[in-house]
A = this chain, B = another copy of it.
Amino acid sequence: MKKADVVVLGGLSGITAGISCRRHYPDKKVILIRKEGTVLIPCGIPYIYGTVGGPENNVIPDGLLENNGIELIKGEAVDVDRKKKVVTMKDGQEIGYEKLVFATGSVPLLPPIPGIDKENVFPVKKEFDYLSEVHRKMDDVKDLVIIGGGFIGMEFADECRKGRDIKVTVVEALPRCLQMAMDNEFCDEAQAKMEETGVKILVNERVEAILGNGEVTGVRLSGGKELKADMVILGIGAVPSNDLAKKAGLEMGFKNTIKVDRYMQTYTDPDIYACGDCAEKQSFFDGRPTGVMLASIATSEARIAGANLFSPNHQNCGAISVFSTVINGRAFGVAGLTERVANQIGARTVIGTAEAPDTHPGGMPNSCQTKVKLIFSKDTGVIMGGSISGGKPVGEMINVLSACIMHRMTADDMVKFQMGTHPALTSSPIVYPIVNAACKVVIPLRGSL
């Protein structure tokens, strides 16, 4: 029987967990088992349909595994015998382990809409051949309906329109697209940018039925209106992929995730760890379980899990929730809590906003106005979250905020921040908006501290 010190089940966060393990324990043998022949960069999937040109350009090279001394076994694990410490593959092969990592990720949520099984209705699976087929078919599509105006839905809409003569409509049940992720003013800005492209966004609308005789021909909305459609993309969300974990008898937690502690060790078995979308998460802020699924969280968890396998002492501080997106060339990012969520939990807050061009002077080429909104606790002065819209640098500005949040910086700390600035790369040091937004809350905070 084949045997390894560590067997990892799964995709993206599995790669990171494996690499982390090999870094911390270079003498351990690691095997990664995965169903997919080829692994796609998950966040790159919408870009297959526009900027990147096809799924073959969005592949995580297996060389990454080879370079890190990780053996790859392609195939489906169908059973885990925790007593014998053996994984059984679909073809009957058995693989022994000392430590096992579940990094089995998530699969698209399928809403109970009548007609969802019609031809040319596609949930966003992370499978190469499947997405290739969608890509091929996309070229003949005239009327694309996207159900769900979250990140996936909006990014698909933005990409599918590129280089195609196609009518794209996004149907969102909430009053605003991206509303689960961003504050109203940023949702509105994103929606306006999207509408500039000709993409239609219908909010406060549910799809009640998917129409057609075999092949999809349209959708019927809750208001009774019908939309023509020769393809439907489902971007509603995802659910953990945990059939095997349940079969193995692991305790499940919030929303069907594997229950893990701060070391990413499962509650059930000290030799089994879990990380990524399949594992339960606690919020960095209130410690409660949260259903958020993000690459920033999954890879951090994977690095922690890999490091802890043979000596659990690296603690997960909880999910901060850091992400960014691009809509029609404008970037949007959030780190930590939005004002909406802070209000929902009843926290007293002070908000600071600032904006500035991301070059100085603003007349430099490719300059882009950047808007920053920071949320501080009115009681402690500690940063709770921040939102930013602007140009390409937003992707890293949001990471500046992530570092500030992780270290529970106060507004006073952030006022003293020494930020490097350069005419072609950043805002001017006088108006650098992260610092200036923090500056603006100092007086409102002082009154309350």
Contacts and interface: CB of A to CB of B under 8 A. Distances in A.
Nearest to A12: B430
Nearest to A317: B416
A229 interface: no
Indicate how many identical chains form the complex.
Answer: 2
A422 B296 CA distance: 10
A426 B429 CA distance: 23
Chain A binding site: helix, strand, loop or mixed by DSSP? mixed
Given A396-B400, A430-B15, A23 B439 contact: yes
Nearest to A335: B420
Contact of A426 (B53, B314, B395, B416): B395
A234 interface: no
A41 interface: yes
Interface string A336-367: 00000000000000000000000011011100
A171 interface: no
A419 interface: yes
B416 A324 contact: no
Interface in A430-449: 430-432, 435, 439-440, 442-443
A363 to B, nearest CB: 5
A303 B415 contact: yes
Contacts of A324: 420-422, 425-426
A26 interface: yes
A439 B47 contact: no
Contacts of A290: none
B416 A316 contact: yes
Contacts of A333: 420, 422
A50 B12 CA distance: 45
Contact of A430 (B60, B430, B439): B60
Given A52-B361, A303-B439, A361-B52, A417 B425 contact: no
A445 to B, nearest CB: 11
A260 interface: no
Nearest to A319: B418
Contacts of A395: 393, 396, 420-422, 424-426
Given A402-B418, A403-B409, A406-B417, 14 more contacts: A44-B423, A303-B435, A320-B418, A322-B420, A324-B421, A326-B425, A393-B395, A395-B396, A395-B420, A396-B396, A400-B403, A402-B419, A402-B420, A403-B417
28 contacts: A26-B443, A41-B361, A41-B428, A43-B423, A47-B424, A51-B364, A52-B364, A58-B361, A60-B430, A297-B418, A307-B415, A314-B412, A314-B415, A322-B420, A325-B422, A326-B424, A326-B425, A392-B425, A393-B393, A395-B422, A395-B424, A399-B400, A400-B400, A400-B403, A403-B409, A403-B417, A406-B417, A406-B418
Interface of A: 12, 15-16, 19-20, 23-24, 26, 41, 43-44, 47, 51-53, 57-60, 64, 294-300, 303-304, 307, 314, 316-317, 319-320, 322-326, 331, 333, 335, 360-361, 363-365, 392-400, 402-404, 406-407, 409, 412-413, 415-426, 428-432, 435, 439-440, 442-443
